[in-house]
């Protein structure tokens, strides 16, 4: 071996030894372990949240209220081309409040926005809300109750309510019934819902990360698009399913050709649409951060419904932070993790809403469970 080769060999050996010593002394890399569903697999797995629901079977409609124990930092992301909302501007990061005392999801099209009136009245009577300056004796504070509605008017229910739509009453009944357990499927804001030619419904799901962050979703699925791959009973959200929470049918037939929607495309004149949802986490986030979570969560609708966010949809996703645990550093990475969890949890909640739905008595609308195993819905 000549002198130059010997020196090169010695330098390579020294470099290798130095790298080995550095690896031994360096702190171990964090391992990102997967999470799991929460104990209830509902949005109420998020500490500091309750949910209440009320329905009017005659009118085939209903209301769902998400109630934090105290005002929660909140945001909203609107993607549908035909939204119906209330007090969403109050959540903008540049505005004064950017918190919510409750979130209201309702059927009933524009009439359903009145459900938030009943929720506000109840909250004010409880002394919950903003009091700007000194209030006169007996005057209630002003709660912020952002709301969104879906279009369930033509589902066959009796909407001949004249000057007395039922939604204020339903909102009041729903907020008075809040707790940690609630029904999925044909319930609450999803009572009158339809989805891609099938019975829609109210869905919820949750996830807990390995390091203890909790994220939950609740959604009323009244979509023009289908939650199923064309010609199958398999949910587009199947790759994200935990256990058999929506049937455990797997992913082997998840495919669609361009412009192939299945029954969602059967009636080009249909305008009976809109999917409305709320995401929540127990991690303490700032207004801009929870807004990013709401934006990222919308991907969950795209993973579960095809198509989504159409001109005649009113798709809306709210997001809440109950602030029960601090955000880990680096914060931006934590926000990204929460947003990714939110999208997956929302996709699962969509599938659960349709999977759990049952059709109304005497209605020709089929529910998912009514489909034969080999049927083309």
Tens digit of each residue's pLDDT, the chain (377 residues): 454 454 445 444 444 554 445 445 544 555 668 899 999 999 999 999 999 999 999 999 999 999 999 999 999 999 999 999 999 999 998 998 889 999 999 999 999 999 999 999 999 999 999 877 778 888 899 999 999 999 999 999 999 999 999 999 999 999 999 999 999 999 999 999 999 999 999 999 999 999 999 999 999 999 999 999 999 999 999 999 999 999 999 999 999 999 888 776 666 656 678 999 999 999 999 999 999 999 999 999 999 999 999 998 999 999 999 999 999 999 999 999 999 999 999 999 999 999 999 999 989 999 999 998 765 54
Per-residue confidence (pLDDT) for residue 367, from 0 to 100: 97
As a whole number of angstroms, the distance between CA 158 and CA 147 comes to: 23
pLDDT at residue 269, as a whole number: 56
Helix, strand, or coil here: 254? coil
Neighbours of 184 (CB within 10 A): 22
Query: Encoding tokens for residue 174?
Result: 């729903």
pLDDT of residue 96: 87
pLDDT for 3: 47
- The model carries a pTM of 0.90
Task: Note whether 264 and 29 are within 8 A (CB).
Answer: no
User: Biggest alpha carbon distance in the chain?
Assistant: 102
CA 112, CA 136: separation in Å to the nearest integer? Answer: 31
SS3 assignment, position 253: coil
Any long-range contacts for 159-167 (C-beta under 8 Å, 24+ apart)? 159/59, 159/61, 161/59, 161/111, 165/108, 165/111, 165/114, 166/56, 166/59, 166/61, 167/61, 167/63, 167/106, 167/108, 167/111, 167/112, 167/113, 167/114, 167/115, 167/117, 167/118
Structure tokens at 140: 């209630």
pLDDT for residue 271: 63
Residue 6 confidence (pLDDT)? 44
Determine which helix (DSSP H) or strand (DSSP E) holds 324, and give its type and residue range: strand 316-325
d(CA 305, CA 197): 12
- Structure-derived torsion over alpha carbons of residues 359, 364, 370, 371, reported in degrees to the nearest 10: -140
């Amino acid at each position: 071996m000549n002198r130059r080769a010997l020196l090169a060999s010695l330098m390579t050996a020294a470099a290798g030894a130095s790298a080995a010593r550095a690896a031994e002394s360096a702190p171990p890399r964090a391992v990102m372990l997967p999470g799991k569903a929460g104990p209830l697999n509902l949005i109420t797995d998020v500490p500091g949240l309750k949910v209440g629901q009320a329905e009017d079977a005659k009118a085939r409609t209903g209301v769902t209220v998400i109630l934090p124990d105290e005002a929660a930092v909140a945001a909203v992301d609107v993607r549908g081309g035909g939204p119906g909302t209330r007090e969403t501007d109050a959540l903008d990061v540049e505005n004064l409040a950017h918190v919510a005392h409750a979130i209201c999801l309702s059927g009933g099209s524009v009439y359903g926005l009145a459900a938030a009136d009943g929720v506000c009245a109840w909250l004010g009577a409880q002394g919950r809300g903003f009091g700007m300056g000194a209030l006169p004796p007996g005057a209630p504070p002003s709660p912020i109750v952002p709301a969104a509605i879906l279009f369930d008017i033509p589902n066959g229910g009796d909407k001949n309510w004249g000057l007395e739509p039922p939604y204020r009453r339903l909102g009041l009944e729903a907020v008075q019934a809040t707790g940690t357990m609630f029904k999925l499927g044909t319930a609450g804001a999803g009572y009158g819902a339809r989805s891609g030619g099938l019975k829609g419904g109210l869905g919820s799901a949750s996830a807990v990360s390995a390091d203890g962050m909790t994220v939950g979703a609740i959604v009323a699925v009244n979509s023009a698009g289908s939650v199923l791959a064309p010609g199958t009973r398999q949910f587009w959200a199947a790759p994200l399913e935990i256990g058999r929470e929506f049937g455990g049918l797997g992913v082997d037939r998840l495919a669609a050709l361009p412009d192939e929607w299945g029954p969602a495309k059967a009636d080009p004149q249909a305008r009976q649409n809109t999917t409305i949802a709320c995401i929540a986490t127990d991690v303490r986030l700032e207004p801009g951060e929870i807004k990013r979570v709401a934006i990222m969560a919308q991907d969950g609708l795209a993973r579960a419904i095809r198509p989504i966010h159409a001109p005649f949809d009113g798709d809306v996703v709210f997001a809440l932070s109950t602030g029960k645990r601090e955000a880990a550093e680096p914060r931006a990475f934590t926000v990204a993790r929460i947003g990714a969890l939110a999208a997956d949890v929302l996709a699962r909640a969509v599938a659960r809403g349709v999977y759990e739905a049952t059709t109304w008595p005497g209605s020709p609308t089929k529910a998912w469970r009514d489909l034969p195993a080999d049927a083309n819905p």
